[in-house]
Structure 1
Amino acid sequence: MTNINDNHVDDHSNIISRIGKCIKQWFIQDFDQNSGELDAAFKNNMLVVATLIVAVTFQTGINPPGGAWQDTKVEPGGHEAGKAILASLHLPYNLFLILNTLAFSMSTQIILMLVYNKKLYFEVVVATVSMVATYGMAVWSLSPDKDVKLRYVFMAALFPYVWRLSFQTFKTFFINYPTK
């Protein structure tokens, strides 16, 4: 004779098992491994979109909205020549830098992933690293010395790469140690 509580426990463990499988499938999916290659047209479209995002975010990073001050005003509440005008609005400037850098970094990562193991990959990596360094120097030189949280911008730049690394680690862990 089956107890009602046994059925409830079986249903509960079945639900948890299905949720676990969904979470595992969401984290482990990767277009280059196990789920087949994406078709070339989709990869090409993604490469075009990522390149467009990189171009736009790079341009806005080196030439922020409003431009840069052309003169230096020494009085209290003044500004320095060559610094971003938008930086006088502390919160909007910080949010702009963080979000722009996140989009820039995520798009560069997508480009590097899509051209991985292709001809001229090393050259693409060198060009991308040079462009990222140029972006970083431009943001640093346009930002005023006070009130700009460049550490948050740095974290936004690293986030996509840390996310991918943790994703790959999580994926490897579950592939090497499957659950029943």
Structure 2
Amino acid sequence: MTDIISRIGKCIKQWFIQDFDQNSDELDASFKNNMLVVATLIVAVTFQTGINPPGGAWQETKDEHEAGKAIFASRKIPFHIFLILNTLAFSMSTQIILSLVYHRKLYFEVVVATVSMVATYDTAVWSLSPEKDVKFRYVCLAALFPYLWRLSYQTFKTFKCSSRQSSTK
């Protein structure tokens, strides 16, 4: 039992840190496949809620509401929280998918499809959101966070490795 717990802990640590080298054990193929399925499911759900927000969209321009804009946007703070968290989940899941398929066949095609899907998501969210209400800087930060986090980790890891090699010389 402790061996299974230790193995699961190692997989989780490797998954979050992704500190692989050529000699270390990589994640199990079944674990990678399961994570790919989960990430794809999250992308599908968050994409759908991004392009079709809860409550739908106004059908006609009336009073203070504009046709084609999200009904939920009339509740500013909950809408902003929803939009930021949905975008964060969407972006984190796309980053996970790209990480899992890195150096695999058809990687370029997956990147092009993912970038196209992200652009579609961004366009839909932008068109459904009232121009004067949405704080897009927060939504953009939520969208960029997973990629900036991974970039900073990789940069730190590279810097740390190069400083170790120079100190051993």
Q: TM-score normalised by the shorter chain: which range applies?
A: 0.7 to 0.9
Question: Where in structure 1 are there 5+ consecutive unaligned residues?
Answer: 1-24
Q: Kindly provide the amino acid, as one letter, of the partner of residue 37 in structure 1.
A: E
Q: TM-score, normalised by structure 1?
A: 0.79
Q: Kindly provide the amino acid, as one letter, of the partner of residue 63 in structure 1.
A: N
Correspondence for 1:117 among 103, 116, 130: 103
Report the counterpart of residue 33 of structure 1 in structure 2.
21
Change (3 A) 1:36 1:159: same
1:80 corresponds to 2:52: no
Correspondence for 2:127 among 141, 144, 150: 141
Q: Kindly provide the amino acid, as one letter, of the partner of residue 30 in structure 1.
A: Q
Distance 1:31 1:141 in 2: 40
Report the counterpart of residue 47 of structure 2 in structure 1.
58
Distance 1:125 1:141 in 2: 24
1:164 corresponds to 2:153: no
Report the counterpart of residue 94 of structure 1 in structure 2.
80
Point out 4+ residue stretches in structure 1 off by more than 4 angstroms.
Answer: none
Report the counterpart of residue 151 of structure 1 in structure 2.
137
1:176 corresponds to 2:162: yes
What is the CA distance between 1:31 and its match in structure 2? 4.8
In the TM superposition, what whole-angstrom CA distance separates every residue of 1:7-44 from its partner, at most 9, and x where no partner exists?
xxxxxxxxxxxxxxxxxx99x94254364211100000
Distance 1:105 1:65 in 2: 19
Distance 1:175 1:32 in 2: 13
Q: In terms of Rg, which structure is larger?
A: 1
Aligned residues: 152
Report the counterpart of residue 35 of structure 2 in structure 1.
46
What is the CA distance between 1:177 and its match in structure 2? 1.7
Report the counterpart of residue 57 of structure 2 in structure 1.
68
Structural RMSD (CA): 2.0
Distance 1:93 1:121 in 2: 35
Q: Matched residues, percent identical?
A: 74
Distance 2:20 2:36 in 1: 15
Q: TM-score, normalised by structure 2?
A: 0.84
Q: Kindly provide the amino acid, as one letter, of the partner of residue 45 in structure 1.
A: N
